[in-house]
Structure 1
Amino acid sequence: MGRARDTGRTGRARRAVAVGAVLAAVLTALTAVPAQAGQRGHGGGAPQWRQTDTGTPEVRYRGLAAVSRDTAWVAGTGGTVLRTTDGGAHWRNVSPPGADGLQFRDVEAFDARRAVVLAIGEGEASRVYRTEDGGTTWTESFRNPDPRAFYDCLAFFDSRNGLAMSDPVDGKFRILSTRDGGRSWRVLPDTGMPPAQPGEAGFAASGQCLVTAGTRDVWMATGGAAHARVLHSADRGLTWTAARSPVPAGDPARGVFALAFRDRAHGLAVGGDYRPGEASPEAAARTTDGGRTWRPAATPPPAYRSGVTWLPHSRTTALAVGPTGTDLTTDAGRTWRTVDPGSYDTVDCAADRGCWAAGERGRVARLTR
């Protein structure tokens, strides 16, 4: 989140273990969907978050882009960006030169060569970089000139059209837009943005406080104010409507941290209180009407969760992650159960059913069997 809120997101490091019989059934169901030509199938054995060796134990990765089972990008502290093209067997450090002092919190990748990363912070600390050659070279395409702005998340509709969101400026969230794949950016007018609540902002915890579905719909998650809200735009960020979420807020450390939409109607929200040891009741919610209304999960995750993703080719199955574990839903967010105690901040799945998670101490894992 903007200002001091993003400094408190710490968690206990725990070694990932086998996800277990519940996730085994899920992965079996996923692999029952025929793979497209050229896609590598899963082998035998129990599925698990399999740790990969990034060689960066000092880095916390909150930005993650799953391109496929083989290719993924991660972005984190110390201006670090890594890329793998062999399923995590090897990671290449492709960090932009001179970015050591930046905090990367989001990365959006279109393939193994093209990616856009966001650095967060007040004023000029908020920046956007773009690469077209797998990170061999980078171009800084945006540097925030306004000391009042603090950018939290990126999201793209396609390889050309995307948005970035900032905490409120002059009482409204600020939206940055690109129409050329991140080469250039402009601030959108705020006439269609509803007023922010006092203290309201976004959480830069997992790169999932701004998400898209389809070619025009985008949603924004907030917290820190009296009510945690989800804002929706059906016209690529020009006009917005706001809906209350049942996820508790009322404190700078509480609210909705991450969103996931499998289509323009069905979405999930997760969050809570990011402070270690603090209770996070009703830490998940779901919508079936595009975010106009939200219902709390009957059985939510037991603690704060910062990342969430739908499993590919499934209408009911999703994963949520946080510092104290991974949770699974098989009923579209009505109930959740913890299936892994490992610490992760963000999670993402590719269309070919390649799922990845990333977090503190250089941890990046791939769901495999």
Structure 2
Amino acid sequence: MTIDEVWFSHREKRYKTKIKLFSIKNFLKKTFSWTDNKEIWDWDHCTIGLARAIDDRLIVVVRSKTNKNSRYMGKKPVELRYMLGFEVNSISEPYIESYTARENHSDPEKRVGPNNRLVFQLDSDHWIWEWAKEGEDINSSIIYRLYNQINNEMISSSIKSDNIFKIGVKINHDDKIIPVIYQPAVDSLDNFVREVHCKKKSLNANGSYEVEVTIIFENEKLREHFYLHKAYELIRLRWLYGRKYDIESFKILDNKGLDNKKFIFKGIYSNGHNLIHDDIHGDKESHIPHNIKYFFMDNNHPVVFINTSNHAMAEHDTNHELWKWEYIPWLENAPVECGSMSREEIESQFIGFRKRLVMLIHGILKN
């Protein structure tokens, strides 16, 4: 819709994370919960887009991005992408007011203002705005142009109602199936996606095939309780898995010429659970196919939402209030590695003591 950068504000509850003792397998984890305190949060360098859902609801899509160096990616600069989408039903005309941005920030140096801003409001909890420039006519501003675009779309629909996210990202990998992944952007959980691997399986007689997708997550770091984190890491690294990363897999079924593509989230389906939940293992006993709800740019890039703290996922979002990290694995400056290893190949790189012990006993019994 526009590449002009603006400020975006939304009213939302504060959340908190805390350390919780789990089973010996998970040991210590950080958990997520909402508080009852609502505040307005301000974000700069945002772009605004519009989309329509299948049921014709108008969705405002806010995106932002920033660059940083990634140690995991070899200390090279990567681009972190963020996305927040919400339904809109009402809009105010633009107006001018005095405002202080990030007034609730704990660091006074992060606050900006008070200064005059040009702003319009969407429903009761969202604002799009920019700082007023001396002598600028509000009717010729970026804000007024955005207001007109959104208002006109609310009055008369011109955007196609489909399930494809269109944002002008380059695709240069032929017809490979690679998902785009959205995960709640809660930095304090330290549960970043690090790698996305897509392994195409053999063709079936009818031309259909499976793609096994394996996601490697950074294991959470208990920075405030360093000694607890070390114990947690040792249990995972030495006894359980031989690794400190979390690994989850799901499948994409491509029924060529038959049905639409499907997801299978065996043992990791989130159902309607969200980030508050941390022990969700839906579809544990069966391979249930789920229709893909959204695609990114074309139907070779299905959209997956990581919804819970233990990385259960689904074809739909259950954390509408939270900004998402937007992982587009094939981009050159993506913060994740895009690979083609199978889950078995990845797991073979990590052998914990428990597995070594089982292998040793098996070898003794065999002899």
TM norm structure 1: 0.25
Q: Could you say which structure has the higher helix fraction?
A: 2
